[in-house]
A and B are shown apart, each in its own frame.
Chain A
């Protein structure tokens, strides 16, 4: 158990819909990262927050957005979903940049 909690574990939704994935980082970790893992794209970095502020942005689509709240939990919002958005979405956390990154167990999203 990494200490990073993600909900829901599995989600099936239709194209065009919107979903929210939730992440609680390890106690004491200020940085939260979101990754997308699909079979053909590998592990793709989406976005990073540190203590509520966006710190780095990766290959995140405009249809996706994220935020980190004052209690340090984070949400990833995916809208206008397409079939290609089906993937495993990981949240990870670390104390700060350059420190060990701990991954949650992921949220499986299936868009039908």
Chain B
């Protein structure tokens, strides 16, 4: 069945260090979305990637969609304590309507 795997599951970084989380799908995706969930909060939409090889930036966050549209990454440059939370990817396969969420990467930023 459809699976979206995300690594690492946990990441602890010193404030100012970079952070990357990777998302891999077992099947080709039509698009992928990224969400951030703060501790005790609800997932908040960050961005959607649609095109093969697409790269989008939001301030210190860089999102990439792989050429084969089966993987994606989120890179945060110079992390801050406000970046703490769990980052989820959610992929929509070419066939079917639902989004499959990755397992999430929990980011801890040590001041």
- Asked whether B42 is an interface residue with its Cβ less than 8 Å from the other chain, the reply is yes
Q: Mark B67-90, 1 if CB is under 8 A from A, else 0.
A: 000000000000000000000101
Total A-B residue pairs with C-beta atoms closer than 8 Å?
A: 48
Chain B, interface size: which category?
20 to 34
Q: Is A25 an interface residue (CB 8 A)?
A: no
Query: B31 and A98: CB pair below 8 A?
Result: yes
Interface string of B26-61 (1 = CB under 8 A from A): 000011010000000111110010000000000000
Provide a sorted-by-A list of 11 A–B residue pairs whose CB atoms are within 8 angstroms: A35-B101, A43-B101, A45-B98, A45-B99, A48-B98, A56-B97, A90-B43, A101-B45, A101-B99, A103-B44, A105-B41
- Which A-B residue pairs are the 6 nearest by beta carbons? A56-B98, A56-B97, A103-B42, A43-B101, A100-B45, A103-B43
